[in-house]
Amino acid sequence: MKGLLRKVIGRLTGSAEWRLLFGTIWAADRRLAGAWWLLTLVRAALPPALAVATGWLIGLIADHDSAARGLITVGALFALMQTLGPVQSAIAANLGDRTAALLQDRLLVAATSPAGIAHLEDPELAADFSLARDFDLGIASPRLRDSLPFIGSGLAAFGAGIASAVVLCGFAWWAGILLLFGWLSPHLLLRESYVWKDWRSSEIKDHQRHAEYAYRMAVDAPAAKEIRLFGLADWITDRFNDRRRRLLAITLEALRLRQRSIMLTLLVLIISNGVVFIALAWQATQGDLELSRLVAFAGTAIGVSSLATMEFDWWLSDGARPVPVVHDLLPTMRRVGALRTAATAGGSDQAQSPRSLPSREIRLQNVSFGYRGGPPILDGLDLTIPAGGSLAIVGQNGAGKTTLVKLLARLYDPTGGRITVDGIDLRELEPDVWRRQVSAAFQDFVRYQLTVAENVAPTGAPKDLINAALSAAGASGLADQQTVLSKQYAGGTDLSGGQWQRIALARALAKVAHGAKLIILDEPTAQLDVRGEAEVFSSVLRATRGLTTILVSHRFSTVRQADRICVLEGGRAVELGSHDELMRAGGRYRTMFDLQASRFTQTP
Ligand SMILES: Nc1ncnc2c1ncn2[C@@H]1O[C@H](COP(=O)(O)OP(=O)(O)OP(=O)(O)O)[C@@H](O)[C@H]1O
C-alpha cells in the first residue's frame, strides 16, 4: 500500500502539469506566481460563497427582515467574481511570457553549454530540440501566455467545485461526496478525448520536424532563390500541408469522443444529480429544510458541476508540455555534448597553464573517429604537425578532412588513439584553455547579421585590430565597419559569397591578433576569384607567419604554398611531404595535382 502510494505521488510530482504549476512558474517569477495562485484560491471560494449569501438574502426577505446587508454581500461577491477573472488572466499572460522566456533561456543553455557539438548533430536530440523550440511559437501546442489564463480559470472552477461539494456536506455528507465523484467522473471517463498521451512519439516528432523544416524553407530568405527557380513553391507548401494534415489526423483520432464513455458519463451524472436533487426536494416538501438553506444547497449542488470543466484538462496538459521536453533536454544534451575535461581525466596543472600552445608540435597517434558509433571516418591516423609551420590537408570529398579539423578544434574527442599538443593529451586540457589558442575559418562559416566590426570581432576589439584583420583578408573596402551585413536592416548591405568568405577570414585573423597560436583554414579560398585567392592566401600566410597553420583545400595553387602537405585517404595519412617531395614521389598527390593543372593547360 505504501509502495503504491509512493508510486502515485511519484507519478503526480513527476508529471508535466505538476512541474509547471509547482516548479517552473515559481522559478520564472515568484511574485506573479504567488498572486496567480492566491487569485485562483479566492476565485474558487467565490461561487459557493455566493450560493450561501443568496440563500441568506432570500431567508432575510422571507422573514421580512432588512435585505440591505444581504443585497450588499451578494452584490460584492458578484462584483468580485466578475472582476477577479480578468485580473488573474492579465497576471497569467504576463507569467506565461516569463515562464516561456525561462524555458527558452534553459534551451539556450542546453544548446550552448556543452563543450562539444555532438548534441547538436544527433538526429534524436534534433527532433526533441525542434519540438521544444516550437512551443513558444504556438505550433505544437498553445503558447504559455495563452494557456496560463485558461489554466488559472480552470483551476479556480475546479476549486469552486470542491468547495461547493464541501458546503453541500452541510446538507448531507453523502450528497457532497456523491456529487464530487459524479462530476469528477468525466475527467476519468473522457480523459482520453481531452489529453493526448502520444504527443512525444517518434512519429509525431518526425511529422513535426518535417513540417517545421518545410515552413522555414518557405519563409526564410536563403531558400527563396531555389524555390522560385526550381518551381518548388507548390511542392514545399504541399509538404508542409501534408505533414500538418497527418498531425491533425493523428490528433483527431487520438482525441475522438467515444460513444461508450459518453453514455457512461451521462449515466453517472444523471444518477448522482438525480439522487441529490430528489433528496433536497423531499426534505423541503417535508418542511425539514428552510428556504434559505434550500437555496444555498441547491446553489452549491449546481456549483459542484464546475468540477467538470474539461477544457481545463486540455489547456493544462497541452500548456505543460514544454516543461518536461526542455528539462529533459538539459541533462541529455549536457551528457551527449560533454567532453572529458581535466577534472575527470585527472589532468595536471601544466595542462591548465595559459602558456602558448602549440610551441613544439601537435601529434595524432593512431587516431580513430566515427560519428555516433558509425563507421570510422578516421582509422588509425598518425600525423605529426610541427609548430610554427603550415600543413595542408588534401583528399577526396568525404575523406574526413573537416572531421579532422573538428577533432583538432576539440569539438569532438577521438574514439580511439590520442591527440597531444606539446606532449599534453588534448583531453586533459580544458576545452576553453585550448580554444583560446585556436582560430579557424570554417567551410560553413557563419554570416552574422551584425555590423562588419562585430562580424570580425563579435565580442569587441580595437578599431585598428579590426582594420588590420580586414586588410589582411582583402576585405577593407567592402563596407564601413558599422554597416550591418544584412539587407533586412535599414542601411544594411549584403555581400557576395567570396566577400563573405573574406570577412570570415578576417574574423580568424582577428583572433590570431588576440593571441591564438593555431589557425585552421577549411576551404578558406573556395569562393574567391583566382586573383583574390592568390593575394589573400599569401597575405594570410604573412599575417600568420611563425604560427601553426592548417589548411584544408581542394585548390592546389593554394595547397602548394604550404610547408608540408598530407594526403588523407581511407582515414589515414597516405602521403606526407613538401610539394616538391610529393611531386617527385609521383603518388596520389602528383596525380591530383596534374589532373587539376591539366585543366588549365589543355587546349580545347
Ligand atoms: N555530423 C556528422 N554526422 C555524421 N556523419 C558525418 C557528420 N559530418 C560528416 N559526416 C560524414 O563523415 C564523412 C567525412 O566528412 P568530412 O566533412 O570530414 O569530409 P571532407 O573530407 O571534409 O569532405 P569535403 O572535401 O567534401 O569537404 C562523410 O562521409 C560525411 O558524411
Residues 538-584: tens digit of each pLDDT: 888 888 888 999 999 988 888 998 999 999 999 999 999 999 999 99
pLDDT digits (tens, 9 = 90+) for 133-179: 766 655 556 788 888 999 999 999 999 999 999 999 999 999 999 99
> What is the pairing mode between strands 416-421 and 438-441?
unpaired
Q: Is the CB of 116 under 6 A from ligand 1?
A: no
ipTM of the complex: 0.98
Q: Which residues of the chain have pLDDT under 70?
A: 134-141, 193-196, 257, 310, 341-355, 600-604
CA-derived radius of gyration, the chain: 35
Task: Give 206 Cα–ligand 1 centroid separation in angstroms.
Answer: 24
Q: Is the CB of 569 under 6 A from ligand 1?
A: no
Q: Which residues contact 522 (CB under 8 A, 6 or more apart)?
A: 401, 402, 405, 440, 441, 442, 443, 552
Q: Is the CB of 477 under 6 A from ligand 1?
A: no
Residues 278 and 152 in one domain: yes
Asked whether residue 363 is assigned to any structural domain, the reply reads no
Domain boundary among 474, 492, 516: 516
Q: Is the CB of 401 under 6 A from ligand 1?
A: yes
What distance lies between CA 49 and its chain's CA centroid? 45
Asked whether residue 593 is assigned to any structural domain, the reply reads no
Give me the domain span that covers residue 481: 445-516
Distance in angstroms (rounded) separating the CA atoms of residues 192 and 261: 10
Task: State the Cα angle at 463 between 458 and 467, rounded to 5°.
Answer: 90
Q: Is the CB of 15 under 6 A from ligand 1?
A: no
Q: Which atom of ligand 1 lies nearest, measured to the CA of 523?
A: 27
Q: Which of 202, 199, 205 is nearest to 318 (CA)?
A: 199
Q: Is the CB of 121 under 6 A from ligand 1?
A: yes
Query: Could you tell me how many helices (H) and strands (E) the chain has, helices first?
Result: 27, 10
Q: Is the CB of 398 under 6 A from ligand 1?
A: yes
Residues 261 and 141 in one domain: yes
Residues 137 and 272 in one domain: yes
Asked whether residue 109 is assigned to any structural domain, the reply reads yes
Distance in angstroms (rounded) separating the CA atoms of residues 276 and 295: 14
Asked whether residue 166 is assigned to any structural domain, the reply reads yes
Domain boundary among 319, 335, 351: 335
CA separation (Å) from 566 to 364, 365, 370, 574, 581? Answer: 13, 15, 20, 7, 11
Cis status, amide bond into 358, omega within 30 of 0:
yes
Nearest residue (by CA) to ligand 1, atom 9, is 403
Q: Which of 510, 387, 396, 400 is nearest to 455 (CA)?
A: 510
Task: Give 282 Cα–ligand 1 centroid separation in angstroms.
Answer: 82
Asked whether residue 323 is assigned to any structural domain, the reply reads yes
Q: What is the pLDDT of residue 354?
A: 52
Distance in angstroms (rounded) separating the CA atoms of residues 124 and 278: 59
Q: Is the CB of 377 under 6 A from ligand 1?
A: yes
Place of cell 460584492: 76
Asked whether residue 587 is assigned to any structural domain, the reply reads no
Q: What is the pLDDT of residue 139?
A: 58
Count: domains in the chain? 2
Q: Which of 228, 528, 232, 568 is nearest to 381 (CA)?
A: 568
Domain boundary among 468, 487, 516: 516
What is the maximal distance between C-alpha atoms in the chain? 120
Asked whether residue 469 is assigned to any structural domain, the reply reads yes
Residues 313 and 450 in one domain: no
Nearest residue (by CA) to ligand 1, atom 25, is 397
Q: Report residue 485 as a C-alpha cell.
A: 551585413
Q: Give the domain CATH number at 284.
A: 1.20.1560.10
Asked whether residue 491 is assigned to any structural domain, the reply reads yes
Distance in angstroms (rounded) separating the CA atoms of residues 601 and 604: 10
Residues 136 and 262 in one domain: yes
Q: What is the pLDDT of residue 88?
A: 94
